[in-house]
């Protein structure tokens, strides 16, 4: 027992180191090289040009990456646990579709890019709540949710494709906005931080409950009559988290699927550890990808969503091959 | 106490079980008998409160009822100890187990003779051990009415007896138990009260003498079954041609 515990402590320490390393990389490297001295300058409040760069560009960007990464990873963790389905991602309830169509319509009607984050957030949340209502709270079933979610996703993504095909002159912008990025200037920073903090505190409060909900659905609902309510609560929470990530960084695929899997392989199904693992590893992947996206073809910046898949897919496949025998 | 009066269970407007009149005694080990597909599980779901009667009256005066279905899924990648501990995370803001809760789990593990398996992962356990683990959940849940759908179906005969002994002992601790059992001889030995569901959808309940007669069991299974009493033990033998 003690041995298992020690192993987990070591693994979480490695996760913390990975997170700090990727945070460091992403803050330090970019168009303007920044030295350690600049960092200490900024920290001590000395006003230099490079300190300004850190304060005004690098840090907000890193924070957005952290918010997006942790929201997506935790949302994916919740969604996969509640549906007991390992290939479900946070967008299953139609968040990517809702956010996508809101953004594409935003491009179509020439709405200022300033409002895109809010547009994505609202679209995603709206469609996901709609899907959950469709499935119905009273006669709620998880299989129904997954199927309705997939259908709505398919329906809306074909409408998006149609919109892209019909508007050739704006197609480039539309595709770009759909692949996610971190450089949207956000006018709702404060409210984003506050919402993120509030949701995270609520997650801290409620996450251990998943250790109970990991039991068979029938047994869980037999022991606690509220277990169905909690299932729905977790779904709504996970939709809110995913929408928040859309607000911070656009639609980023893949993270919500692979990070929960990696965490589960490292820590087993104990959500007290999984929560923090997801909280550390999700942002790490985005920060690393962001660093790569900015530094590969300087000065052009590649869409981060593409880098995440290019970087993440091989990493995940290697991980599966190493852990192969144990995997599912 | 569980009471069902003039109950009726329908599927797609077709009457499946009719005229159900059962009253389950408190602090007794009740066993349900009947052939496959006769509707035992449907009746268990009614009693466990999972589904509702199509017609008739149902009342449950137990404070907490737990029903373990026949087929359940098990989370992988956790140890047996963690599996049993899941039940304590039902409350919010529960980031660690207290010493008392841990001791309770160890107590149950020892009671069920699976303490040496506590650090094995769930997918390394046999299906019989998994069933015993589920019974462990029942014991930890503090329910005063436990419903088990075929608790012994994957157990060897020694483990069946061990499990039945534990369940029987629970009835002295203010816990009532209802289970489905296919082994008639073990059922006769351990049960205090019986419910039989016949192939034709007739539900009877009663004491050992009422249910364990050659006539009644032959009716229930639609097959010749001979009940004899040897040294105060009731033995039921299906006639094999």
Q: How close B80 gets to chain A, by Cα (Å)?
A: 12
pLDDT at A68: 92
Q: Cis omega before residue B132 (within 30°)?
A: no
Predicted pLDDT of residue A58: 85
Tens digit of each residue's pLDDT (9 = 90 or more) over B77-110: 889 999 999 999 887 778 888 899 999 999 999 9
- Which candidate, A88, A273, A230, A81, places its Cα nearest to that of B82? A273
B121: three-class secondary structure by DSSP: strand
Least confident of A18-22, A324-328, B32-36, B183-187: A324-328
How much is the pLDDT for B178? 94
Q: Which residue of A has its CA nearest to B47?
A: A222
- pLDDT band per the 50, 70, 90 thresholds, residue A188: low
- Taking any CB pair shorter than 8 Å as contact, residues of chain B touching chain A are 48, 50, 65-69, 72-79, 81-82, 85-90, 92-96, 119, 134, 137, 141, 143
> With bands split at pLDDT 50, 70 and 90, how would you rate the model's confidence at B43?
very high
Q: Which residues of B touch A237 (CB under 8 A)?
A: none
Residue A113 CB-half CA count within 13 A: 13
Tens digits of per-residue pLDDT, A15-46?
999 999 999 998 888 777 778 888 888 888 78
d(CA A24, CA A288): 10
Q: Between the CA of residue A52 and those of A32, A47, A57, what are the distances in Å?
A: 12, 7, 8
Q: What would the mean pLDDT of A114-135 be, rounded to a whole number?
A: 87
| Number of Cβ atoms within 10 Å of the Cβ of A166 | 10
Q: How far is CA A130 from CA A134, A147, A227, in A?
A: 6, 14, 22
pLDDT of residue A97: 87
Instruction: Kindly state the average pLDDT of the residues B211-224.
Output: 89
- Looking up tokens 């016949």 gives B198
Whether A242 contacts A95, CB under 8 Å? yes
Alpha-carbon gap, residue A33 to B184, rounded angstroms: 81
A189-213 tens-digit pLDDT: 788 889 899 999 999 999 999 999 9
More confident residue, A183 or B133: B133
Taking all residues of chain B, what is their mean pLDDT, rounded to a whole number? 89
Task: Give A265-287 pLDDT, tens digit per residue.
Answer: 888 888 999 999 999 999 999 99
- CA B110 to mean position of chain CA atoms: 21
Q: What is the dihedral of CA A146, A147, A153, A154, to 10 degrees?
A: 150
CA B206 to chain centre: 17
Give residue A326's pLDDT.
57
Whole-number mean pLDDT of chain A? 86
pLDDT at A186: 60
For tokens 């569980």, what's the residue? B2
For A224-264, write each residue's pLDDT tens digit.
888 888 988 998 899 899 988 888 888 888 899 899 999 98
- DSSP codes joined into one string, A74-137: HHHHHHHHHHT-TT--GGGGSHHHHHHHHHHHHHHTT--GGGHHHHHHHHHHHHHHHHHHHH-S
Q: Looking at residue A187, what is its pLDDT? A: 63
Residues of A in contact with B72 (CB under 8 A): 216, 218-219
What are the residues facing B228 on neighbouring strands? B235
Give A54's DSSP letter: I
Measured CA distances, A215 to A219, B45, B228 (Å): 7, 19, 43
**Per-residue pLDDT, A113:** 79
Max CA separation in chain B (angstroms)? 63
Tokens of A116: 């895109």
Task: Report whether B214 contacts B226 (CB < 8 A).
Answer: yes
Q: Say if A211 is an interface residue toward chain B (CB within 8 Å).
A: yes
Q: How confident is residue A1, by pLDDT bands cut at 50, 70 and 90?
A: low
Per residue in A86-112, pLDDT (tens digit) is 888 888 888 888 988 998 998 899 888
Q: Which residue has the higher pLDDT, A2 or B145?
A: B145
What CA dihedral angle connects A106, A108, A109 and A111, to 10 degrees? Answer: 40
Q: How many CB atoms lie within 10 A of CB A165?
A: 9
d(CA A247, CA A120): 6
Task: Check residue A327 and give its pLDDT.
Answer: 52
Q: Which pLDDT belongs to residue A191?
A: 83
């Amino acid at each position: 027992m003690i041995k298992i515990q020690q192993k987990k402590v070591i693994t979480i320490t490695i996760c913390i180191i990975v997170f700090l390393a990727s945070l460091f990389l992403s803050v330090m490297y970019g168009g303007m090289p920044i030295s350690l001295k600049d960092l200490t300058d900024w920290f001590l409040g000395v006003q230099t040009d490079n300190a300004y760069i850190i304060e005004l560009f690098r840090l907000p960007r890193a924070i957005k990456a952290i918010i997006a990464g942790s929201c997506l990873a935790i949302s994916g963790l919740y969604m996969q646990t509640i549906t007991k389905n390992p290939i479900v991602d946070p967008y299953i309830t139609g968040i990517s579709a809702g956010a996508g169509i809101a953004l594409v319509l935003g491009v179509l009607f020439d709405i200022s890019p300033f409002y895109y984050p809010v547009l994505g957030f609202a679209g995603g949340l709206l469609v996901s709540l709609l899907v959950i209502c469709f499935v119905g709270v009273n006669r709620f079933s998880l299989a129904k949710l997954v199927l309705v979610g997939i259908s709505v996703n398919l329906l809306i993504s074909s409408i998006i494709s149609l919109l892209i095909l019909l508007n050739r002159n704006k197609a480039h912008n539309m595709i770009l906005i759909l692949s996610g990025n971190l450089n949207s200037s956000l006018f709702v920073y404060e409210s984003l931080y506050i919402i993120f903090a509030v949701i995270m505190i609520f997650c801290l409060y409620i996450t251990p409950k998943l250790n109970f909900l990991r039991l068979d659905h029938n047994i869980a609902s037999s022991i606690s009559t509220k277990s169905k309510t909690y299932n729905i609560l977790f779904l709504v929470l996970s939709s809110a988290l995913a929408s928040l990530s859309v607000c911070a960084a656009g639609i980023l695929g893949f993270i919500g699927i692979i990070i929960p899997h990696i965490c589960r392989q490292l820590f087993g199904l104990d959500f007290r550890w999984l929560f923090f693992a997801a909280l550390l590893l999700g942002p790490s992947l985005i920060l690393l990808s962001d660093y790569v996206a900015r530094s590969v073809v300087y000065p052009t910046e590649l869409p981060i969503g593409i880098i995440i898949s290019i970087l993440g897919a091989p990493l995940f496949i290697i991980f599966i091959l190493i852990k192969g025998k144990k995997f599912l | 106490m569980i009471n069902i009066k003039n109950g009726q269970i329908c599927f797609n407007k077709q009457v499946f079980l009719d005229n159900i009149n059962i009253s389950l005694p408190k602090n007794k080990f009740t066993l349900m008998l009947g052939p496959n597909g006769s509707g035992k599980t449907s009746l268990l779901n009614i009693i466990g409160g999972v589904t509702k009667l199509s017609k008739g009256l149902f009342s449950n005066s137990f404070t907490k009822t737990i029903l373990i279905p026949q087929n359940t899924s098990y989370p992988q990648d956790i140890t047996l100890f963690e599996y049993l501990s899941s039940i304590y995370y039902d409350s919010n803001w529960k980031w660690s187990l207290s010493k008392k809760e841990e001791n309770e789990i160890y107590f149950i593990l020892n009671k069920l003779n699976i303490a040496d398996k506590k650090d094995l992962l769930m997918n390394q356990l046999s299906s019989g051990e998994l069933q015993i683990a589920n019974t462990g959940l029942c014991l930890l849940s503090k329910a005063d009415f436990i419903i088990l759908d075929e608790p012994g179906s994957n157990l060897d005969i020694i483990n069946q007896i061990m499990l039945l002994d534990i369940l029987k002992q629970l009835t002295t601790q203010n816990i009532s138990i209802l289970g489905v059992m296919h082994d008639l001889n073990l059922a006769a030995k351990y049960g205090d009260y019986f419910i039989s569901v016949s192939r034709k959808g007739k539900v009877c309940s009663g004491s050992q003498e009422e249910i364990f007669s050659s006539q009644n069991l032959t009716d229930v299974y639609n097959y010749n079954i001979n009940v004899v009493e040897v040294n105060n033990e009731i033995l039921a033998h299906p006639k094999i041609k």
